[in-house]
Structure 1
Amino acid sequence: MRARLILASRSEARRWLLRRLGIPFEAVDPGEVEEAVGEPREIALENARRKALKVAETLREGLIIGADTLIIHDSRMIGKSRGRGEVVEALRLLRGSSHRVLTGLAVVDASSRQLEEGVEETIVHMRRISDDEISLYASIGESIGRAGGYAIQGLGALLVERIEGCFYNVVGLPLRLLDELLRRFDVSLLELA
């Protein structure tokens, strides 16, 4: 029997990635979840845990995946851009420098309540992009609602010089870590695809 995967997320990027890989899943919006406070790694992990557990409360079976991605630049967290102005502000801050992308992942078995979790970190080095490039990119609209103001899986890739670590972490769903956590439930992404 195949495992039932439930993605506790409203993130289009995470849904896109699982669909692209041919992984069968259901998506459930966890609704509003109180944001954690503390150090970035703990925040990402706790937010992911809260999302997964909130959805798990409503289900009897399945493996629920919660994820939370944070962008850290010079010890400052950069949230999701809510509009064009915030995209421009974030990209001006990030250009020509490096930042950390942290994604907390939590997987909960709805029936046993077993919880497995971890954090992935990737370093992103941005190009020295001009104000004109920033303005053009912001006008496209793909980065609204994205942490850091860019979508690396889209035209945002043109803003990046290089990355160190997991590309899919920057998209919002680190696949190697997800597979590692699922294997603790005797499930593999390769077997699901």
Structure 2
Amino acid sequence: MKNLKNVYLEHEQRITVNMSNIKTVDLWSEQVSFMAEEHPFSSPAVFFAYRVLSAENLSEKLQQLRMQCDIYLFYETFADTNRKAKNQQKALNFLDDLATINACFHCSNGKYFSEMSRTGFDPVETGGAGMLYVQRFQFTMLDDSAQILYKNLKFENMEVAVEKAVIAPGENKAKLFDEINT
């Protein structure tokens, strides 16, 4: 999908323009589960994951795709939303960021996507000191990446001959066509 790169860049820009506190924006690859073993990242962080939900062939080598975009928001923190918690406001800021992500994407259109709307919202267990939620969105995009190798064949200098075929009586036993009386 050649436009998936462009969709990601549009989505990444919506986060960086509207959420200056986000320190990392990346494609999702279970980074939160492997923070010690893999490339470290700063938080708060937003991650995107994309998958095709359905595809409709529009023409030769062109599809309209209904996509799902999972947007993960991660805070590495010991902050707690408990009323008496020392870092309650930091934890509440996480909830504000979830609302801002929805504002960035719900009922939105871009140059490479349209009809984006939120369809889900779930906490994700991290097993550590972090808060991770995923918001699911659906959108529509066109994919013409198969046209790269497509050659539009031209039929030039082609002769067509039409001949009248005569069917002998009794050859139409399967009744594939109506008998014509001439």
TM-score normalised according to structure 1 size: 0.25
Higher strand share: 2
TM-score normalised according to structure 2 size: 0.26
